[in-house]
A and B are shown apart, each in its own frame.
Chain A
């Protein structure tokens, strides 16, 4: 097993730190009931999380087109409403007959939906238990702490911790659960192209972080007959009294250990004919595609990639900024999907979005403020596409879903959303509660959006 994929507990034991005993004494309820023991998986699957930082105004991404519903939308959104005639009409397989349109700057997404490779999940967000407006107002149901705050709600999406003190993310916990099954992997299950994230933080596993264009090599390490590198390694492997120095050195060890192997593997990636947008997000998706193309070289069986885009906190100038942001998301998702088709892995790779929160339906003049539920996207050939999952909410102000200013109570919890994806990823039903701790509070354990 490569060091990079080794569990942190093993790693600490190896490094001889005094924390080991404490760690071993800690209860890990789900560890020990590994997925099918420690047998390798029989196939390859990857989840790609696109996190839209700042809170995507997603009720402008998927908009009701039927007259009464559109009129309610337009009345709530005022000067921020997308014109009815501008919406790209979609024809969903949902039996309810409701009509919707996609934001006009998202033709790529529109096409993926039409070809049944994309689905929407309407009005999803952090919840602890099903919540009605009356329960919200009466305080009779526990709520996630600090609703409407960026970092707290990002934290909720990443961790699903609700009011508990958990400090791991749901992708990190998935990696913990399968760590023995994927023991042969040459790279950590979790790879971030978007910096450190609670989402991928596990108790037993650590994510590997690279740049938008992939990992970097250490310059000059071949110098002095390779002694430059060996000396560097001896320095970072020395024992340090300070927890901060140790924490820093641990990252350096992982960096040195993985850089050569991953750089060498990615250098073998076959050229892709799919063209990606040149934006940072396009580059991130391209790097993910290249890593997937060398998955066998790295003996990868299960991967969770994190990519991200920022700028969605549209308090200001939303009419100028949002179309460009959504256009970028659409073009990047379309390119990445095309690359998975080109690589023959479109049914093995599922891309999904998360974002801090939806935004107020009401306008603050030229933008919107922090709210709660929103619409998310799921893409891939294993998705039951051309469908909208979850109940599309009433967009009327002071309507049954509005807690004020057009802040909508989610109808689907982030736990249900995560658990559905986790189950597809290979987490058995018995372990889903470890991934999504509040799943048991909801009747529907699986949203049915995966084939």
Chain B
């Protein structure tokens, strides 16, 4: 969620691959236990969402499992659920879903797809929870929401793909749809009969969210599950009269077996982690690893992430289109990681409304389509070149101004020398900068080392020198804050090269 000096030292000491292997062994930093430890729960349920955001930042900024946290954040932007909407009153469910991504995000994709399918947060968000078989008159039919979005957004996409992620083309030059409306309806029938576990009297219709049922996998209530045959992917028709869990297994197997999953997930994860515009060869190499981790296993996400991060294209020299925009939330976690940002109690509860300050927040997208689209291309040279820059979709004039102002607050207005702050204010520690602040050059170098891996452009260096030099040499706090502010609002900090 942003590299610290300690991270960099460790990578240099043991090498990239060993660092990744080491990260894979790190225990997961979780959110739900923190929420459950707050007893008695607050009267106002929204307070628990604040606690959820608090613990998200605690783990993102301080967790030893940085790779898990980073991949979980990436997955939270692909397999989206959000506090905004139907989950607004279910903070335990959202925290538990976050933990699912942290604990299983580097596991097997088939397991992950089943776990998200049966998680009540997803059940509520995409309305599989409570979905019933058709009524006897045939006037009520199953809900198609999850049926559609699991395939469109989380696993295979709309059109058939080659291994390298490019669309397959039919004999008339048109892309080939991956599924039809009858297949959507088949899956919709599969996803019937599931709701919160432990319904009173075993009654499907009486199932309710409790702190416990919000975090347990949904339960099948067989009387509400459709027993007819169901058309799914790959030409498979699930036979009639199977148990609901069997239907689900067969349906998810048909998705997992689809050749699109590898290239689809490869491109999305590469975009989230490394670059907006991977070459088709890069996608192909990662998709290959999805299809077979080298030991004959399909869907090994740890192997996929390793392939993404160790690929020559990820590690090679920068070009004009390698890398990506670093989204606002990651710009802030990077600042806080580099400068030990936190409130005196170690927490982040004061940062109550990340969406208002940054235009995004953890598990707070406006819809299942995430904060931005993987295919967003701003008008101008990026679009004209046929490239995309997803994160720029939220970099509007308004949001950029908002984010720039947020960074002013969290540098000049919230540092270890700021007087008169509320007790829970999140401050960055700028003491090391103040210690060298009278020496402008040393200050600029120190900040550039911490935030830009030492790679500061001539223009930025000149302007930092100019601005820092306008404060008295004795004004260490403002000199330090100015240097940090100028970096974190600069295009070169916003770029993940």
Q: A17-B381, A247-B378, A254-B397 are in contact. Are A227 and B140 (CB under 8 A)?
A: no
Q: What residues on B are CB-neighbors of A54 within 8 Å?
A: 367
Q: What residues on B are CB-neighbors of A150 within 8 Å?
A: 367, 369
Is B145 at the interface (CB under 8 A from chain A)? Answer: yes
Q: Are A12 and B381 in contact (CB under 8 A)?
A: yes
Q: What residues on B are CB-neighbors of A313 within 8 Å?
A: 145, 367
Give Cα A196–Cα B379 distance, bound, in whole angstroms.
11
Q: Are B387 and A243 in contact (CB under 8 A)?
A: yes
Q: Which of B41-49, B61-69, B404-412, B441-449 contacts A (4 or more CB under 8 A)?
A: B404-412
Q: What residues on A are CB-neighbors of B143 within 8 Å?
A: 315-316, 364-365, 367, 369
Give Cα A311–Cα B158 distance, bound, in whole angstroms.
23
Q: Which of A84-92, A206-214, A417-425 contacts B (4 or more CB under 8 A)?
A: A206-214
| A262: nearest chain-B partner, CB-CB | B397
Q: A206-B379, A316-B86 are in contact. Are A216 and B470 (CB under 8 A)?
A: no
> Interface code A211-236, partner B: CB below 8 Å = 1, 0 otherwise?
10001111110001001100110111
Q: Are B467 and A215 in contact (CB under 8 A)?
A: no
Give Cα A196–Cα B366 distance, bound, in whole angstroms.
13
Is A238 at the interface (CB under 8 A from chain B)? Answer: yes
Give Cα A427–Cα B29 distance, bound, in whole angstroms.
58
Q: A244-B323, A315-B127 are in contact. Are A202 and B379 (CB under 8 A)?
A: yes
Give Cα A216–Cα B325 distance, bound, in whole angstroms.
22
Q: Are A235 and B382 in contact (CB under 8 A)?
A: no
Is B225 at the interface (CB under 8 A from chain A)? Answer: no
Q: Are B324 and A244 in contact (CB under 8 A)?
A: yes
Give Cα A238–Cα B86 distance, bound, in whole angstroms.
45
Is B459 at the interface (CB under 8 A from chain A)? Answer: yes
Is A53 at the interface (CB under 8 A from chain B)? Answer: yes
Give Cα A217–Cα B325 distance, bound, in whole angstroms.
23
Q: What residues on B are CB-neighbors of A167 within 8 Å?
A: 377, 379, 383
Q: Are A370 and B148 in contact (CB under 8 A)?
A: yes
Q: Are B158 and A228 in contact (CB under 8 A)?
A: no
Is A146 at the interface (CB under 8 A from chain B)? Answer: yes
- Looking at A54, A172, A364, the one whose CB has the most chain B CB atoms below 10 A away is A364
Q: What residues on B are CB-neighbors of A219 within 8 Å?
A: 405, 408-409
Q: A8-B379, A149-B148 are in contact. Are A234 and B463 (CB under 8 A)?
A: yes
Is A283 at the interface (CB under 8 A from chain B)? Answer: no
Q: Are B397 and A208 in contact (CB under 8 A)?
A: yes
Q: Which of B230-238, B266-274, B415-423, B483-491 contacts A (4 or more CB under 8 A)?
A: B483-491
Q: What residues on B are CB-neighbors of A168 within 8 Å?
A: 379
Q: Within the complex, what minimum Cβ distance (angstroms) separates B225 from chain A?
A: 14
| A146: nearest chain-B partner, CB-CB | B158
Contact residues, B118-146 vs A (CB, 8 A) = 126-127, 130-132, 139-145
Give Cα A235–Cα B492 distance, bound, in whole angstroms.
10
Q: Are A246 and B379 in contact (CB under 8 A)?
A: no
Q: A242-B497, A316-B143 are in contact. Are A227 and B127 (CB under 8 A)?
A: no
Q: Are B394 and A196 in contact (CB under 8 A)?
A: yes
Q: Are A201 and B491 in contact (CB under 8 A)?
A: no
Q: What residues on A are CB-neighbors of B145 within 8 Å?
A: 313, 315-316, 369
Q: What residues on B are CB-neighbors of A218 within 8 Å?
A: 401, 404-405
Q: Are A242 and B495 in contact (CB under 8 A)?
A: yes
Residue in A206, A244, A362 whose beta carbon sits within 8 Å of that of B325 in the complex: A244
Q: Within the complex, what minimum Cβ distance (angstroms) separates B361 from chain A?
A: 15
Q: Are B491 and A236 in contact (CB under 8 A)?
A: yes
Give Cα A227–Cα B322 distance, bound, in whole angstroms.
33
Contact residues, B460-497 vs A (CB, 8 A) = 460, 463, 466-467, 470, 486, 489-492, 494-495, 497
Is B9 at the interface (CB under 8 A from chain A)? Answer: no
Q: Which of A18-26, A33-41, A347-355 contacts B (4 or more CB under 8 A)?
A: A18-26
How many chain A residues touch B (CB < 8 A): the figure is 81
Is B85 at the interface (CB under 8 A from chain A)? Answer: yes
Q: Within the complex, what minimum Cβ distance (angstroms) separates A396 from chain B?
A: 13
How many chain B residues touch A (CB < 8 A): the figure is 77
Is A29 at the interface (CB under 8 A from chain B)? Answer: no
Give Cα A208–Cα B466 distance, bound, in whole angstroms.
31
Give Cα A201–Cα B373 distance, bound, in whole angstroms.
15
Is B393 at the interface (CB under 8 A from chain A)? Answer: yes
> Interface code B70-82, partner A: CB below 8 Å = 1, 0 otherwise?
0000000000000
Q: What residues on B are CB-neighbors of A405 within 8 Å?
A: 141
| A404: nearest chain-B partner, CB-CB | B181
Q: Within the complex, what minimum Cβ distance (angstroms) separates B350 from chain A?
A: 18
Give Cα A288–Cα B325 distance, bound, in whole angstroms.
31
Is A195 at the interface (CB under 8 A from chain B)? Answer: yes
Residue in B140, B142, B276, B491 whose beta carbon sits within 8 Å of that of A248 in the complex: B491
> Interface code A301-330, partner B: CB below 8 Å = 1, 0 otherwise?
000000000110101110000000000000
Give Cα A319–Cα B376 distance, bound, in whole angstroms.
34
Q: Are A228 and B467 in contact (CB under 8 A)?
A: yes
Is A249 at the interface (CB under 8 A from chain B)? Answer: yes
Q: Are A244 and B139 in contact (CB under 8 A)?
A: no
Q: Are B405 and A216 in contact (CB under 8 A)?
A: yes
Give Cα A224–Cα B470 distance, bound, in whole angstroms.
7
Q: Are A370 and B373 in contact (CB under 8 A)?
A: no
Q: Are A316 and B382 in contact (CB under 8 A)?
A: no
Q: What residues on A are CB-neighbors of B393 within 8 Å?
A: 195-196
Is A250 at the interface (CB under 8 A from chain B)? Answer: yes
- Closest 5 interchain pairs by CB? A209-B396, A19-B381, A255-B397, A238-B459, A364-B143
User: 23 A-B Cβ contacts within 8 A?
Assistant: A23-B384, A167-B377, A195-B394, A195-B399, A196-B378, A208-B397, A216-B405, A224-B470, A227-B467, A231-B467, A241-B318, A242-B318, A242-B497, A243-B321, A244-B325, A247-B392, A247-B395, A248-B491, A248-B494, A252-B404, A259-B397, A362-B141, A370-B144
Q: Which residues of B are interface residues toward A (Cβ below 8 A)? A: 85-86, 126-127, 130-132, 139-145, 148, 152, 158, 174-175, 177, 181, 184, 276, 318, 320-325, 366-367, 369, 373, 376-385, 387, 389, 392-402, 404-405, 408-409, 412, 457, 459-460, 463, 466-467, 470, 486, 489-492, 494-495, 497
10 new A-B contacts at CB < 8 Å, known A146-B158, A202-B379, A244-B495: A22-B385, A234-B459, A235-B490, A242-B322, A244-B325, A246-B491, A249-B491, A315-B145, A365-B130, A367-B127
